[in-house]
Amino acid sequence: MAAHLTSLLDLTPAQTKRVVDLAVEVKKHPQEFAKDLAGKSIAMIFAKQSTRTRISFEVGIHQLGAQALALSAGGSSGMQLGRGETIHDTANVLSRFVDGIVIRTFGQDQVDGLAEHGSVPVINALTDKYHPCQALADLLTIREHLGSPEGKTLVYVGAGNNVAHSLMLAGPRSGMNVICACPASLPPHQDVLARAEADAKEAGTTVTVSHNLHEAAEGAHVLYTDTWVSMGEEAEAKALMKKLEGFCITADIMKRADPSAQFMHCLPAHREEEVSTEVMDGPQSVVFDQAENRLHAQKALMLLLFGARAW
Ligand code: CP
Ligand code: NVA
C-alpha cells in the first residue's frame, strides 16, 4: 500500500497499473465514485502557477464528494509557510485538520518533509524535480490511444526536467521504453537516471539519453515535449532557449516516428518553440486528452491514497 505520491518512486509497477486501471473505471462511470470521499477535506497548496493541476484536483475532489481547500503558499492571502513557518510545523498542523495534502512547490524537500512530518497522505502536484501526477495521467492517455504502454517507446524531447524525470520513472513501471532526447548541457539528474535505468533493467525495459533528436525519434510511438523554460527558471530563459535550439518537434521529426505515433505535451505549450503549430494542432496531437486525463487519473489516485478503494 502506497502512503503518499511524493514521486513515482512511491509506486511499484503493480500499483502504477492499479491507478491507471481505476482511472479507466472512474472515467467511464464517474457517478459510481461520487460519494467515495464524502466528509473528507483535502488541502491544496500552490506555490507556483497552475491551470490543469489546480483545476483538475479541485474539480476531482468535488466530484468525489470531498471538500477542497485551495491555498496559496505565500502572498498576503497565503499560508504562514510563505513567511517562514517550517514544513515540519505546517505538516503537523495540517494533519490535525485535513485528510490529505496536495502540494505544488519548488523544492522536492518540501513535499518529502510534509510526508515525513505529517500523518496524512501527501501528493506531489509538481516540484522542480518531479511531476508524477502528469506521468500517471499520461499512461492513461497512452493506453487510450495506443492500446497499452507495454512495449512502446516514448521519446521525451527537451530539457532533462521534472516532466522528463517522471516519465523516465513511469517507463519501467508500465513496460514502456523511454528515451530522453536533450541537449548535452541540459541532462536529466544523474540520480534519477541511475534509478530509472536500474528499474528498467529489473522490468526488462530501457531508459536511455540521446543528444540526437533525429536519431531518437526513429520509430517512436510517442513524441513528447514540455516548455523550454520551467516555472522558476525565468531568469535563465534566454540561455535555455539557445541551448534547446534544434529540439523543436516539427512535422519532419514526426515523420521519423512510427506511423501510429502520438504527439504529447503536458502543457502549457509555446507554439514554434518546443513544437511547431502544425504538430501541436495536427491529427497526431492528443494534448487535450492528456489534459482531461489529469482529472480521471488524480481521482483514481486519491481514491486509493485516501483509503476509499483498496490498492
Ligand atoms: N501540465 C500541468 O501541470 O499544467 P498546469 O501547470 O497548468 O497545472
Ligand atoms: N516543466 C514545466 C512543467 C509545467 C507543467 C514546469 O515545471 O514549469
Number of domains in the chain: 2
Mean pLDDT of the region 188-198: 98
**Closest CA relative to residue 264, chosen from 311, 201, 220:** 220
Structure confidence at residue 75 (pLDDT): 85
Locate 183 and state its grid cell.
541537449
Mean pLDDT of the region 233-261: 98
| 84 and 211 share one domain | no
Q: Does the pLDDT at position 1 exceed 80? A: no
Q: What is the domain-level CATH number for residue 50?
A: 3.40.50.1370
User: Catalytic residues, which ones?
Assistant: 104, 131, 134, 226, 266, 294
Q: Which of 44, 46, 52, 294 best tests ligand 1's pocket when mutated (most atoms within 8 Å of CB)?
A: 52
| 124 and 252 share one domain | no
Structure confidence at residue 74 (pLDDT): 86
pLDDT tens for 26-55 read 999 999 999 999 999 999 999 999 999 999
**Closest CA relative to residue 276, chosen from 244, 298, 305, 252:** 252
Structure confidence at residue 44 (pLDDT): 98
Structure confidence at residue 77 (pLDDT): 85
pLDDT tens for 106-134 read 999 999 999 999 999 999 999 999 999 99
- Give dist(CA 214, CA 254) in Å, integer: 10
pLDDT tens for 163-177 read 999 999 999 999 999
Structure confidence at residue 2 (pLDDT): 85
Give the other-Cβ count within 10 Å of 39's Cβ.
9
Q: Does the pLDDT at position 211 exceed 80? A: yes
Q: Report residue 76's pLDDT band, with 50, 70 and 90 as the boundaries.
A: confident
CA distances from 221 to 127, 216, 228, 281 (A): 27, 11, 22, 18
| 111 and 253 share one domain | no
Q: Give the predicted TM-score (pTM) of the model.
A: 0.98
Q: Is the CB of 163 within 6 Å of ligand 2?
A: yes
Structure confidence at residue 196 (pLDDT): 98
Q: Does the pLDDT at position 311 exceed 90? A: yes
| 88 and 213 share one domain | no
| 279 and 143 share one domain | yes
Mean pLDDT of the region 281-295: 98
For residue 231, tell me if it sits in a domain. yes
Ligand nearest to the CA of 136: 1
For residue 3, tell me if it sits in a domain. no
- Within 6 A (CB) of ligand 1 lie 50-53, 126, 134, 266-267
Distance from the CA of 233 to the center of ligand 2, in angstroms? 10
Distance from the CA of 131 to the center of ligand 2, in angstroms? 8
Q: Which ligand 1 atom sits closest to the C-alpha of 267?
A: 1
Structure confidence at residue 236 (pLDDT): 98
Q: Which domain, by its residues, includes 37?
A: 8-131+294-305
Q: Which of 161, 167, 267, 273 best tests ligand 2's pocket when mutated (most atoms within 8 Å of CB)?
A: 161
Structure confidence at residue 127 (pLDDT): 98
- Give dist(CA 101, CA 306) in Å, integer: 10
Q: Is the CB of 230 within 6 Å of ligand 2?
A: yes
| 242 and 212 share one domain | yes
Average pLDDT, the chain: 97
Q: Which ligand 1 atom sits closest to the C-alpha of 231?
A: 6
